[in-house]
Amino acid sequence: PNSSVSLAKDHFPSDFVWGVATSAFQIEGAAKLDGKGPSIWDEFCQIPKAISDGSNGDVACDHYHLLETDLDLIEQLNVDAYRFSISWPRVRPTGAGQWNEAGLAFYDRLFDGLLKRGIKPYVTLNHWDLPAALQHQGGWANRETVERFVEYAQLIHARFGDRIASLVTHNEPWVMATLGNELGIFAPGMKDRAIAAQASHHLLLSHGLAVRALRAAGAAYPLGIALNLSPMHAVTASAEDHAKARLEDGKLLRWYMDPLFKKSYPADVWSHLGADAPTVLQGDLDLIAAPIDFLGINYYSRTIISAEQPWDAKSNGKPVTDMGWEIYPAGLTELLVRIHQDYQVPTMFVTENGAAFKDQLINNRIHDLERTDYLKQHLLAIHAAMQQGVNMGGYLVWSLLDNFEWACGYEKRFGIVHVDYQTQRRTLKDSALWYQDFLRHSSKEHS
Ligand code: PNW
């Protein structure tokens, strides 16, 4: 751990945005309340063994009922922005037809509560919780879902556009397509590479069409998308390991970045897919590449690739988090510099970065030095990229709260605030106290 390296807020530009992030399904609970429809994650949680602790999102952090408490918590942290997602099935229970006023009213309170406290609302439209009814019609592999998503984006703009500070269309399309539809370890639990490839294309297309629709509706706030990215490092210098790493980079990064910024799918991945490559209609690639204002990057770790072993083969002996993910801040610098060089990207934001550790609550304190170090190291990595000319707009910690960590249930804790799920009591971990203190010293006050 290298907590002694000098790091201060005023090493970053004064308009750099500092925040914390969550997503609806992971914190809200109230899964069946006030007219909310089921999402694919509500259904996935009912499959035996799908979630390692057998849990679900019915209560989660009960954020739906503890909104005011959580807003006060966010305010205490001295952040500029709060990144959250809107639950599509809460505001439109079947993804089509009727809108749900009670669900919309919850987000009214959230937007207004943030603005009252001087915190910028950073919205994500789709953080994986697709209305289950749309999945029953084929989900993201069905081109009609694209139209439904655009309608949803338009409604959110009409209702909240005067209060949105920034908007992400999709969070991590790779995760939805690959983990959800090809590997089946996330909702909707499908194991079909062709369906996954088609879903990825429709996610990209719906992003581009939503961006176009929001601009047409007069959206004055920045629009972007958030990708989970990870440098792919070959385990040895062998040609085989190298080729595999290049292909995995194609599947994770170039499959999304090329259509978004170069109007094409990478040829190597396309031919690797063979008959499973998606149907792409004339004009789709132009639509996907609608200009955006920022690129969001969710960064957790690098990936070490071996031609022989499965790609999640662990980095033996290297420091890892409770997810088994290697702590590798240099990978963030590498990624940001590489994207800056390879693509004409607008400003980038780190829309998620954080770590799960086994925390211990002792006398109401959690001395999560490892998490604090993780955050500091990654901020230094961002700073290093900026010194190489990369334009960065902000940094959002994943996550505000311990929460439902998808297939891991409540067993993995990413929060800088501890949640006691028995009592729903929140306790600021030392990492939150550090962030709060770090953000207290504004560069404006110092100059
Ligand atoms: C992201 N992977 O998920 C999500 O945006 C968050 O909702 C989540 O809680 C967080 O990271 C921590 O997991 C990912 O296996 C999940 O490559 C898995 C992967 C990547 C991102």
DSSP, residue by residue, 360-394: --BTTB---HHHHHHHHHHHHHHHHHHHTT--EEE
Ligand 1 centroid, distance to 203 Cα (angstroms): 17
- Per-residue pLDDT, 220: 97
Distance CA 3, CA 380 (A): 11
Nearest residue (by CA) to ligand 1, atom 7, is: 23
- Atom 16 of ligand 1: nearest residue by CA position: 175
Residue 424 DSSP one-character state: T
Any binding-site annotation on 26?
yes
Q: How does strand 81-85 pair with strand 120-126?
A: parallel
Q: What is the DSSP letter of 181?
A: I
Q: Output the residue whose Cα is nearest ligand 1's atom 9.
A: 405
Mean residue pLDDT across the chain = 96
DSSP-derived secondary structure for 49-91: TSSTTS--SSSTT-TTTSHHHHHHHHHHTT-SEEEEE--HHHH
pLDDT beyond 70 at 443: no
| Alpha-carbon gap, residue 92 to 129, rounded angstroms | 12
Tens of pLDDT, residues 43-102? 999 999 999 999 999 999 999 999 999 999 999 999 999 999 999 999 999 999 999 999
Calculate how far, in angstroms, residue 216's C-alpha sits from the geometric centre of ligand 1.
Answer: 32
Pick from 406, 410, 416, 419 the residue to mutate for probing ligand 1's pocket: most ligand atoms within 8 Å of its CB. 406
Cβ atoms of 26 and 409 closer than 8 Å: no
Distance 314 CA to ligand 1 centre (A): 17
* Residue percentage of the chain with pLDDT more than 90: 95
Q: pLDDT of 200-213, one tens digit each?
A: 999 999 999 999 99
Q: What is the pLDDT of residue 316?
A: 66
User: Token match 């309340």: residue?
Assistant: 33
Residue indicated by tokens 């959250």: 84
| Pocket residues: Cβ below 6 A from ligand 1 | 23, 26, 171-172, 175, 228, 298, 352, 398, 405, 414
pLDDT at residue 441 in the model: 73
Q: What amino acid occupies position 126?
A: N
The residue contributing the CA closest to ligand 1 atom 13 is 405
- Ligand 1 atom showing the smallest separation from residue 354 Cα: 12
Exposure string over 231-244, b if 16+ CB within 10 A, otherwise e: bbbbbeeeeebbeb
Q: Contact, 71 vs 114, CB < 8 A?
A: yes
Which mutation among 20, 87, 122, 172 tests ligand 1's pocket best, with the greatest number of atoms within 8 A of CB? 172
CA nearest to 88, candidates 8, 164, 5, 24: 24
| pLDDT at residue 5, rounded to an integer | 61
Residues that are catalytic = 172, 352
- On the question of pLDDT at 447 being above 50, the answer is no
**Between residues 354 and 5, the one the model is more confident about:** 354
300 belongs to an annotated ligand binding site: yes
Does the pLDDT at position 190 exceed 70?
yes
pLDDT in tens, 299-353: 999 999 999 976 555 556 889 999 999 999 999 999 999 999 999 999 999 999 9
In this structure, are residues 69 and 426 in contact, taking their beta carbons and an 8 Å threshold?
yes
Which residue has the CA at smallest separation from atom 2 of ligand 1?
A: 175
Amino acid letter, residue 333: T
The span from the CA of 41 to the CA of 82, in Å, is 23
Please give the span between the terminal C-alpha atoms of the chain, in angstroms, as a whole number: 31
Q: What does the pLDDT read at residue 444?
A: 47
CA of 217 to the centre of ligand 1 (A): 31
Residue 116 Cα to ligand 1 midpoint, Å, equals 30
- DSSP strand E in 306-400: where? 347-352, 392-398
Before 6, cis peptide (omega within 30)?
Answer: no
Residue 218: count of CB within 10 angstroms of its CB: 8
Query: Mean pLDDT, to the nearest integer, of 412-438?
Result: 98
User: What is the three-class DSSP state of 419?
Assistant: strand
Contact assessment for residue 103 and residue 38, using Cβ atoms and an 8 Å cutoff: no
Which of 352, 404, 419 has most ligand 1 atoms within 8 Å of CB, for mutation?
Answer: 352
Q: What is the ipTM of this complex?
A: 0.93
CA 54/CA 49 separation, integer angstroms: 6
Both tokens of residue 98?
């009727």
Task: Say how many Å lie between the CA of residue 6 and the centre of ligand 1.
Answer: 29
Report which secondary-structure segment, H or E, holds 151: helix 144-160
